[in-house]
Amino acid sequence: MRRPGAGVARRPRWLTRNVATLSGVSFLQDAASELLYPILPIFLTTVLGAPAAVVGAVEGAAEGAASLTKIWAGRLADRSSKRRLIAAGYGLAAVGKLIIALATTWPVVLAARCVDRLGKGIRGAPRDALLTEGVDQASRGRIFGFHRTADTLGAVVGPALGLILYELFNRQIPPLLWVAVVPAVLSVLLVAAVREKRRAPAGVVRGSGERTTAAPHPGAAGHLPARLRLLIGGLTLFSLVNFPDALLLLRAHELGLSTEGVIGAYILYNVAYAALSYPAGALSDRVPRHLVFAAGLVFFAAGYLGLGLIDNPAWVFPVLIVYGGFAAATDGVGKAWVSSLAPAELQGKAQGLFQGLTGGGILVAGIWAGLAWGDAGRVPLLVSGAGGLLLAVVLVVAGRRLARTASTRW
């Protein structure tokens, strides 16, 4: 006689309710954001008449504000409800997209973009801290890899849906703006399914009369471990050569790809990113994370050096597919690495500091790369590619000490 449930595949222990729910939330929000990403600059400049210089300046300001917000939200998440911060962040992003759909002048759209990016800054660190709740150290790579896969699948579905609807709507952009509002609102509603455990403060008397006392740990005074601070500092230095992907797409366009070709190449990049994120995260639970991250930096160097050296636009597609391996092997793996070195009580602070500083570094990289871009962008691409390759070598040689945790020694 078969037992109840026999033959039914059991859900992995690391795939908690929160991991599944927050992955779904990210999928929906990213589908909305990435549907807008390729068409919004065109809408601003051709439909609403925004100067290109103003678009770039406000986008930069929005990203800078988001980076600072990540640091603040990460600290707040360790002292208050992570779920409320997550809901507020996704809610602001949805409001921003609704304002874009309603806008008739470009300053309104640019203000809405600031609202959207501030929402991203508020939600990121609390969400990543809550992903680790109830999951042991040995599975951190899997959960962040799974989440990045779901998030990036949204970046595949969004642009693809945008291309299809662009043709169905007779190449009219405004209807697409309303379509993007739908998954954004659904993502906010799905946050209601997230659950957060209530933590009893130190010194609370239990039912047995026993008074609890918090065990000492490296972050008991609110300070992150030295090894973690060193890791965040090193990854922030790398972010100074990791400029925004919009410049890579600009290079693809300058090589001769049409607008549709650039969007298609961007979709292929996200397909590679989504397909490799979970395997890379799972691998980082079995081998030292610094080696997986270093492999990602090799993909980074191949992508940047490749785009800097090629002249045939057909090569953009395989180069961006390879470049997708960089994001897959560093984004979720980096968050898992930070998470494994941070005390449980300071997960929000650690993720906020990591994401805020590296986000600020990317903003700086975008500024210097844009100023040095010239006619074809070869110099910034070659400089950054060489920098990524150098850091990969440094990580292989000296990264072992940073990869150790209190419970795992590689």
Give the per-residue pLDDT at 326.
97
141-162 pLDDT per residue, tens: 999 999 999 999 998 999 889 8
Categorize the per-residue pLDDT at 4 as very low, low, confident or very high, splitting at 50, 70 and 90: low
If you average pLDDT over residues 64-79, what whole number do you get? 85
List domains and CATH numbers for the chain: 17-195+225-403 (1.20.1250.20)
* Confidence at residue 337, expressed as pLDDT on a 0 to 100 scale: 93
**Is residue 232 over pLDDT 70?**
yes
Note the pLDDT tens digit of each residue in 199-222: 555 444 444 444 444 444 444 446
Task: Kindly state the average pLDDT of the residues 384-395.
Answer: 94
pLDDT score recorded for residue 210: 40
| Residue 56 pLDDT | 60
Q: How far is it, in rounded angstroms, from Cα 322 to Cα 308?
A: 14
Flag the least confident range among 13-17, 62-66, 199-203, 353-357. 199-203
Higher pLDDT, residue 143 or 135: 143
Instruction: Give me the count of residues in the chain.
Output: 410
CA dist., res. 252 & res. 315, Å (int): 9
DSSP type of residue 288: -
pTM for the whole structure: 0.82
| Structure letter (DSSP) for residue 223 | P
Residue 294's alpha-carbon distances to 4, 18, 231, 279, 340, in angstroms, are 46, 29, 13, 15, 17
pLDDT for 21: 94
Q: Please state, in angstroms and rounded to a whole number, the distance separating the CA atoms of residues 264 and 281.
A: 26
Tokens of 285: 């639970």
Give the pLDDT confidence score for residue 223 in this predicted structure. Answer: 83
Rounded (10°) CA dihedral 58, 59, 60, 63: 120
User: Higher model confidence: residue 207 or residue 254?
Assistant: 254
* Average pLDDT in the chain: 84
Per-residue pLDDT at 386 exceeds 90: yes
Burial category of 235 from C-beta neighbours within 10 Å (exposed 0-12, middle 13-18, buried 19 and up): buried
pLDDT for residue 20: 93
Q: Across residues 329-353, what is the average pLDDT?
A: 92
